[in-house]
Chain A
Amino acid sequence: MSQPPLSDQAASIYATNPPRDMPTRRGTELAMLGFAAFIVTCAFVLVQANQEQELSWSIVWYGLAYLGLFSVAHAAVRKWAAYADPLILPCVALLNGLGLVMIYRIDLANAEKATQASKDFTADAPKQVLFTALALALFLAVLILVKDHRTLTRYGYTAGLAGMVALALPALLPSSLSEVNGAKVWLKLPGFSIQPAEFSKILLMIFFASFLVAKRDLFMIAGRKVFGVELPRARDLGPLLIAAGVCLLVLVFEKDLGTSLLLFGIVLVMLYVATERAIWVVTGLSFFIVGCLIAYQLFTHVEQRVANWIDPLETYSDPGGGYQIAQGLFGLGTGGVGGTGLGAGRPEIVPESNTDFITAGLGEELGFVGLAAILMIYLLLATRGMRSALAVRDTFGKLLGCGLSFAIVMQVFVIVGGVTKLIPMTGITTPFLSYGGSSLLANYILVALLLRISDAARRPAQKPRPKQPQQQAPLAEAHTVMVQRPPAGGNPTGEPTA
């Protein structure tokens, strides 16, 4: 043994990631966070100014809460993922902050409406701050508990099962425990409710990544040729197909088309990346189109959504018709290129303006310019994630990172595409912007995992050497070391037996 023994962990990191000198870039992250805080503060001031309110203490409270939360997040990253990509957290902070401003702004409008109708009103913005705090706590927990993302492979099947159960639970539970506003996707617990699908999407991504990594070689080698295409054996693909199929079925029964579209896209992309065969995408899309046609025939709500998509103004006054989308489009149109200015539009006219349709509100008040900027932040966030996934050496990390990054864009595409009439409307949340606890919590977990992968991608194999060679203690002062006795009859190398 000429080489100094490495610890198991260090050795594996060495294997996947040879040492490079990478700056941590934590200072950049802090500066960018400061920039995000500056933009969010300006946005807050604009809202209050345009609403003709005096600058109130609420700005200070929201501002302090925002700064406090993201300082903690930054400190946590500094400590537990020191080499993580410096742009991911600021992007999230900016999106989260803008979402908060918009929710606060819609609160103001709704509060006024409620006063006029002399009804009670509870503001959503303070709750969103609370959710952000909870989400960051979870973010911290993930960073601390998951020291190495590869440990997640051990829980692949567990995660898959948990994900499926979480997904199916609202469908199985009686409506009294699972239905809110007609959507049977909730889990109503005493005191609060969650949308388990938001979490299962991450659990399922972990499952798919670990499963695909384990079976990757089998997929690529063993199999039969059908029409010149190598198909993997059914028993290799089985669990994946079953899992994906069950997920989609459950979602179809819950009428949660957005999440099923999202999951389908993610599975397809992960399968494609794992097998490197475009044929999966083609097959998947064919199945998807067939599935869409069947769903269109079977479910009236799918038919309705498509009719609303084709011309929301036509179905404007039908029950379940295009009213909401049309109002969203009116808002976007009124905003135009430059927007009406934060606080000067009327985003509250659109139903669900602070959840599904928050981008319509942002588009109205910030205009095309602002909405485009927000989309670019998402793209930046996702591409930084993808970059980390490309840089990390282990296949699991690559696959998971790729899935997580794609999930961000896919969510944005499904919801923003729906709001702007690019694709039929399906209700999912806009990551980090929308009001809602589950979405925020789940997406912060997603980001924590992404930061973990990115940390692994950029972290040198060993701790950076001290700049100056350490003073060696004189041999005389060195303390004695106890040498472990090899086990009786064991192997002489001292290496653990498999």
Chain B
Amino acid sequence: MNKPMRRVGIAMITMVVLLLVNITYIQVVKADDYRTDSRNQRVLLDQYSRQRGSIVSQYDGQVLADVVATNDKLKFERRYTDGPMYAPVTGYYSVRYGSGGLERAEDDILNGEDPRLFVRRLSDMVTGRDPRGGNVQLTINPAVQAALYNAMTSKGYTGAAVAMNPKTGEILGMVSTPSYDPNALASHDSTAQQEAWTQFADDPKEPMLNRAISQTYPPGSTFKLLVAAAELENGATADTPVSNAPNVQLPGTRTTLENYGGAACPGTTFKEALAHSCNVPFATFAGQLGADKLNQIAVNFGIGTPLSIPMNVAPSSLGEMDSQAALYQSGIGQRDVRLTPLQDLMLSATIANGGMAMKPQLIKKLLAPDLSDLETFSPQELTGTPALSAANAAVLRDMMIASEANTKGGGKRANIQIASKTGTAEHGTDPKSTPPHAWYTAFAPAADPQIAVAVIVESGGNRGLEATGGTVAAEIGRAAINAQLGGG
């Protein structure tokens, strides 16, 4: 009987060896797959219970997002200062719904997993201190952000506004309205979190959409800045004569393209055409320049260049422009031309910076938990090639100063010289009876630009069909300029 018993003994050993081989496979070979599976809450819970780094402004170190200690399993809860105001900047951070915006883009720094924080984490492990995440310092100026946000929300506008330093590309303010409160998503009360998410996600006004960088719009007349730049580069001057006809027939069609209100252009020079935002000359310019020249200059304004600030920016585009008629319509920022508000801002910012587009950047510095520097942002040229020459930029600037002089709307200050361009963009399936988008893009002071700003108020704001860039959007842009330049 001993022989079969010995065999049973061998069978027992074999069974245990089988188990060992299998757990080797699971815990050694497949371990990483299982560990990093999105449904494995363990790693996530570890990150969530680590003290997440703060998001602060470079101005006075104002804190936009930090954590408060809680006594539950997650240990720390995310808190946002002025949540809705800064939501397009900070994004959100939720245990249940993950993260969005900057919280996601800089997650590795904030949760401390960035390789640059590795040595510190190691020493934290040795010293027994709980590992913490690094901090992110933003270029945002709270005064500009607040001015933009308050101006947009006080009238209940839907839209976006962005401001940046044209010389460095530092984004000074980025607002999207209506907004949402990321604090509600960061709540550790899972019911509250869920309710907030459902509320935001189901809202037809899409409060969680960052309109400043994730949404593209027809830029309307603000696009004339690009056409004007191309025309100047093509040899035109401010005094080049232009047609003052009230309308022009689109080549190859029976459709006509009118000036705003169907009026004749008050001037007959290029400069006056921009100052009065006459459509006919710019449609004609675009037709003469052709798609290639427009696209060529567009690249150096940033259109079609993939961009992240570090959040990804939706690509802007001029569209096909495959016929003269298409060129005519594109020349005034209609048809298939689609820009993000940030890209629209870059039109004026590039002109403000003497023709060189700077790479927009939201982050000033990455800091270790102990506030030592990990990386400091330095201004970068976007493509390295100027969109237009400094001389032509100066010409265009003067044309924009004239345009500002013709622009209505409140918020003007005598002591600040602004260069601007408005836009009133038709959109929708029935453009004539859909309230237009109101645009305003500007920089100031014109002589030594410190801030450039772009504003879009969707669908006419509170003016409906009567809305224009000047009456609706300009005031908002000027508020930001005043805030930045100390005009209050």
Binding site for B on A (CB under 8 A): 112-113, 116, 269, 272-274, 276, 313, 316, 326-327, 329-337, 345-346, 349, 363, 367-368, 371-372, 375-376, 378-379, 382-383, 386, 389-390, 395, 398-399, 402, 405-406, 409-410, 412-413, 416-417, 420-422
- Given the known A-B contacts A329-B26, A330-B34, A412-B16, are A395 and B1 also in contact in the complex, defined by CB atoms under 8 Å? yes
Whether A273 contacts B19 in the complex (CB less than 8 A), given A333-B27, A333-B32, A337-B28, comes out as no
Q: Are B27 and A375 in contact, with the CB atoms below 8 A?
A: no
Q: How many residues of B contact A (CB 8 A)?
A: 38
Query: Which of chain B's residues 385-407 have a Cβ closer than 8 Å to chain A?
Result: none
| Alpha-carbon distance A327/B37, docked complex (angstroms) | 10
Q: A316–B39 contact, CB under 8 A?
A: yes
CB distance A386 to B34 under 8 Å?
A: no
Do A326 and B39 contact each other (CB < 8 Å), given the known contacts A372-B23, A376-B16, A405-B12? yes
**Interface-central residue, B12, B20, B32, B40, by most chain A CB under 10 Å:** B12
Query: How distant is the Cα of A193 from the Cα of B72 in the complex, in angstroms?
Result: 35
Q: Do B35 and A334 touch (CB < 8 A)?
A: yes
Cβ-defined contact, A378 with B26, below 8 A: no
Known: A273-B5, A316-B39. A332 touches B27 (CB 8 A): yes
Task: Give residues 14-28 of B contacting A (CB, 8 Å).
Answer: 15-16, 18-20, 22-24, 26-28
**Are the CB atoms of B42 and A402 closer together than 8 Å?**
no
B contact residues vs A (CB 8 Å cutoff): 1-9, 11-13, 15-16, 18-20, 22-24, 26-28, 30-35, 37, 39-43, 45, 72-73
Chain B residues within an 8 Å CB radius of A333: 26-27, 30-35, 37, 40
Q: Which residues of B contact A113 (CB under 8 A)?
A: 73
The residues of A that contact B72 with a CB separation of less than 8 Å are: 116
A327, B5: Cα distance in complex, Å: 38
Taken together as a complex, chains A and B put the C-alpha atoms of A36 and B484 apart, in Å, by 72
A330 touching B6 in the complex, CB below 8 Å, given contacts A379-B13, A382-B12: no
**Which of A313, A363, A378 has a CB less than 8 Å from the CB of B27?**
A363
A420 touches B26 (CB 8 A): yes
Find out whether the CB atom of A413 lies under 8 angstroms from the CB atom of B19: yes
Whether B27 contacts A368 by the Cβ 8 Å rule is: yes
- In angstroms, Cα B7 to Cα A183, docked, is 35
Cross-chain contact B5 with A363 (CB below 8 angstroms): no
Name the residue of chain B whose CB is nearest to the CB of A359.
Answer: B23
| Cβ-defined contact, B8 with A406, below 8 A | yes
Query: Is the beta-carbon distance between A421 and B1 smaller than 8 angstroms?
Result: no
Can you name 6 A-B pairs with beta carbons within 8 Å? A329-B30, A398-B2, A402-B8, A413-B19, A421-B26, A422-B22
- B42 and A331 contacting across the interface, CB-CB below 8 Å: yes
B27 to chain A, nearest CB (A): 4
Going nearest first, the 5 A-B pairs with the smallest beta carbon separation are: A333-B34, A330-B40, A368-B27, A409-B12, A422-B22
Known contacts A273-B5, A336-B31; 20 additional CB pairs below 8 A are: A269-B11, A273-B1, A273-B8, A333-B27, A333-B30, A333-B33, A333-B37, A334-B35, A335-B31, A345-B42, A349-B41, A368-B23, A375-B19, A383-B12, A390-B9, A399-B1, A406-B12, A409-B12, A413-B19, A420-B26
Contacts of A378 in B (CB 8 A): 16
A274 to B45, CA, bound (A): 54
Instruction: Kindly list chain A residues whose C-beta atoms are within 8 Å of the C-beta of B22.
Output: 417, 420-422
Taking CB atoms, residues of chain B closer than 8 Å to A346 are 41-42, 45
Indicate which residue in A336, A367, A379 contacts B35 across the interface (CB closer than 8 Å).
A336
B27–A367 contact, CB under 8 A? yes
How far apart are the CA atoms of A387 and B41 in the complex, in Å? 45
Cα-based distance from A284 to B73 in the complex (angstroms): 51
The interface residues of chain A lying within 8 Å CB-to-CB of B12 are 379, 382-383, 386, 405-406, 409
CB distance from B189 to the nearest CB of A (A): 10
A410 surroundings in chain B (CB, below 8 A): 15
Q: Which residues of B contact A272 (CB under 8 A)?
A: 4, 7-8
Q: Collect the chain B residues with CB atoms within 8 Å of residue A390's CB.
A: 2, 5-6, 9
How distant is B192 from chain A, measured CB to nearest CB, in Å? 14
Taking A346-B41, A417-B19, A422-B22 as contacts, is the C-beta distance between A371 and B27 under 8 angstroms?
A: yes
Contact partner, A330, options B8, B39, B73, Cβ 8 Å: B39
Closest residue of A by beta carbon distance from B188: A116
Q: Given the complex of chains A and B, what is the CA–CA distance between A316 and B40 in angstroms?
A: 12
Report A-chain residues with C-beta under 8 Å of the C-beta of B41.
330, 346, 349
Note all chain A residues with C-beta closer than 8 A to B32.
333
Bound-state Cα–Cα, A386 to B34, Å: 37
Known contacts A116-B72, A313-B37, A406-B12: A420-B23 contact under CB 8 Å: yes
- Chain B residues whose C-beta falls within 8 Å of the C-beta of A367 in the assembled complex: 27
Whole-angstrom distance between the Cβ of B268 and the nearest chain A Cβ: 70
Given A379-B13, A413-B19, A417-B19, check contact A276 B27 (CB 8 Å): no
Contacts A330-B39, A332-B23, A334-B42 given; indicate if A269 touches B34 (C-beta within 8 A). no
**Alpha-carbon distance A421/B34, docked complex (angstroms):** 13
**How many Å from the CB of A344 to the closest CB on chain B?**
10
B28/A336 in contact, CB under 8 A: yes
Residue of B nearest to A340 (CB): B42
B5 touches A386 (CB 8 A): yes
Give the docked Cα–Cα distance between A112 and B49 (Å).
Answer: 15
Please give me the residue from chain B that is nearest to A213 by CB atom.
Answer: B1
Residues of B within 8 A of A399 (CB): 1
Q: How far is the CB of B479 from chain A (nearest CB, A)?
A: 45
- Note all chain A residues with C-beta closer than 8 A to B13: 379, 383
The answer on a CB contact under 8 Å between A383 and B34 is no
Closest to A410 in B: B15
Residue ID in chain A nearest B12 by CB atoms:
A409
Residue contact A274 to B30, C-beta cutoff 8 Å: no
Please, how many angstroms separate the alpha-carbon atoms of A363 and B13 in the complex?
Answer: 20
Please, which residues of chain B bring their CB within 8 A of the CB of A329? Answer: 26, 30, 34
- Knowing A116-B72, A330-B35, A386-B9, say if A379 contacts B16 (CB, 8 Å): yes
Given contacts A336-B28, A398-B1, contact A375 B16 (CB under 8 A): yes
Contact call B26/A413, Cβ cutoff below 8 A:
no
Residues of B contacting A379 in the complex (Cβ-Cβ under 8 angstroms): 12-13, 16
Chain B nearest CB: distance from A21 CB in Å?
22
Instruction: Give the Cβ gap from B22 to chain A, nearest Cβ, in Å.
Output: 4
Give every chain A residue within 8 A of B3 (Cβ-Cβ).
Answer: 276
Q: Which residue of B lies closest to A367 (CB)?
A: B27
Query: Which residue from chain B places its CB closest to the CB of A274 in the assembled complex?
Result: B1
Residues of A within 8 A of B34 (CB): 329-330, 332-334
Complex: A406 Cα to B16 Cα, angstroms: 11
Give the residue of A336, A345, A372 whose beta carbon is less than 8 angstroms from that of B20: A372
Question: Quick one: which of A276, A313, A330 contacts B42, CB cutoff 8 A?
Answer: A330
Also in contact, A368 and B8, with CB within 8 A (given A333-B34, A409-B15): no
Contact of A420 with B19 in the complex, beta carbons under 8 Å:
yes
